[in-house]
Structure 1
C-alpha cells in the first residue's frame, strides 16, 4: 500500500488523553490500540476486524492474551517492553501476518498492553519495509494517528538499524526480478530466432 503521497501531520490537534484507550486506524485496514480494544467484541465487529496481533510477555501472558479465540485469527509475539528486547527477528513474521490480513480484504488490530511502545514499534517496522521509507517518516505517520506512541530507546535504535537491512533485501529482490525478466526475454528472443530462417535474398539491410 503506497502511503508516501499521503499528508500526515505529527501534531494531532484533536488528540485527547482518553483516546489512548481507543484504537486508531493507521492506514486502511490496520488498527493500533490497547488490549482493552482487543477484548471488546462489539468494537471489533463494528470495525470488521478479522486478524489480531497480540504482543505480550511472560509476566503478563495470563492477562494479555488471545481473548476471543475462534472468532479471530491470532498471531502472538512474546516480547517485553525492555530496551534490551530484540524485536528485529519478529519483523518478517509480523509483516507476513499483516499482509495476509490486508490482501484477503481483512482488517487487523495490533496491540500490546497500552500500545505505546511495543505494538507501535511493529507497526512502524511494517510501514518502513512495505513502503521503503525511513524510521522518521514511518514514525510520523503512526504518531499522526495515535499521538501517545513512544517506542523505548532500544526499540527506536533497532528500527533505525532495520532500515538498511530491509532496503538491502528489497534491492536484492528487485535485482533478482530484473535478472529473471531479462533472462526470460532473452529466452523468448532465442526461440524466435530459431524459428525464423532466412535466405540471403530475403535479408534486409
Structure 2
C-alpha cells in the first residue's frame, strides 16, 4: 500500500492521513481519483450559479475553497451530507441536513427561503455536486418558483451538465412534485393554452374566415357571363363568308361609277 506523505495533506479536507489511490478518505469521505481518472477530470473550482447572486450549487471540493467562495460573495452553506464536516464555521453560516433515507426537502427549503429573504448568497453542496445537492436545488425551484419537475431539472442541468440523479432521488422528487402540485389529473395543473375558436385568425389581407363572402350565384336573376346578346339579323340576310359590307368594299370605285352612269357618257377608248 502506498502511503501519503506528511507534507501532502488531503486536497479536500486538509487532514493528513493514509490512503491509497481510488480509496475513500476516512475523514472527509472524498475519493481521490486514480491516475487514469485524473487526466480526464476537468472540474471548475467555482460552484455553479443556479440563480445569479443568490443560489449556487457545488461539491465538497467547492465548499472547501473558502477564499473562492468569498470572492463570489457566498456567506451561507447548506450541507446535504451529514458525514461531511463544516470546515469554516467562523467564516460561513452552515445548515447541515440530518436524514436517513429520504432527503428533507422542506427543511432545506426553509433555510433557502430565509437566505433569499435576507438577500444572502448560499452554496448547496454534497460530495460530488451531482445527485443530492442538485435534488435539493430542484426541489427549491419547484417550491419557490412554481416550476414543474421537468422544467426545474432542465434549468439545473443546463447550468451544471455533470448532474446525474439516481433512481431513488428521482422518485423522491416525483413524490415531492405531487405533494406541491397534486396529481397530474388534478385541477391544480394549469392546462395548456390553445388559441380560442372565436379568436381573430391570422390572414394575409384576406377576409375573415368566420364571415366568408357568399359565393357568386349563377343564373339567378341575371344573365350568365357566358351568354351573348342575340344578333338582330333577319335569317335571310345572314350569310356565311363575306358580309354585305365586305362585298361592297371589294367593289372598285370605277365599277360602282359605271353602274350609275347614264347613256350620255362616252367610253374612254371610243374617244
Taking structure 1 as the reference length, the TM-score comes to 0.65
CA apart distance, 1:37: 1.3
Question: Would you say 1:75 and 2:75 are equivalent positions?
Answer: no
SS in 1 for 2:68: helix
CA apart distance, 1:106: 0.8
Partner Cα separation in structure 1 for residue 46 and residue 70 of structure 2: 15
Matches within 5 A, 1:146-165: 146-165=160-179
CA displacement, residues 61-107 of structure 1 (integer Å, 9 cap, x when unaligned): 2xx22110021111101357xxxx212xx111111111111211210
Partner Cα separation in structure 1 for residue 147 and residue 116 of structure 2: 19
Matches within 5 A, 1:1-205: 18-19=42-43, 22-28=46-52, 29-57=54-82, 61=83, 64-79=84-99, 85-87=101-103, 90-167=104-181
CA apart distance, 1:167: 2.4
Judged with a 3 Å threshold, the aligned counterparts in structure 2 of structure 1 residues 46 and 160 are, in CA distance, closer, same or farther, namely same
SS in 2 for 1:56: coil
Judged with a 3 Å threshold, the aligned counterparts in structure 2 of structure 1 residues 102 and 17 are, in CA distance, closer, same or farther, namely farther
Taking structure 2 as the reference length, the TM-score comes to 0.50
Judged with a 3 Å threshold, the aligned counterparts in structure 2 of structure 1 residues 142 and 40 are, in CA distance, closer, same or farther, namely same
User: Over the residues paired in the alignment, what is the CA RMSD in angstroms?
Assistant: 2.0
- Larger helix proportion of the pair: 1
CA apart distance, 1:17: 5.3
CA apart distance, 1:136: 0.7
Judged with a 3 Å threshold, the aligned counterparts in structure 2 of structure 1 residues 153 and 86 are, in CA distance, closer, same or farther, namely same
> Which runs of no fewer than 5 residues in structure 1 stay unpaired?
1-15, 169-205
> Which runs of no fewer than 5 residues in structure 2 stay unpaired?
1-39, 183-271
Partner Cα separation in structure 1 for residue 99 and residue 130 of structure 2: 14
CA apart distance, 1:44: 0.9
Count residues in correspondence: 143
Moved over 3 A (4+): 19-22
Partner Cα separation in structure 2 for residue 44 and residue 160 of structure 1: 32
Partner Cα separation in structure 1 for residue 151 and residue 170 of structure 2: 13
Q: Out of 132-141 and 18-27, give the one that drifted further.
A: 18-27
Query: Which structure ranks higher in relative contact order (CA pairs < 8 Å, sequence separation ≥ 6)?
Result: 1
CA displacement, residues 153-194 of structure 1 (integer Å, 9 cap, x when unaligned): 0110111111121125xxxxxxxxxxxxxxxxxxxxxxxxxx
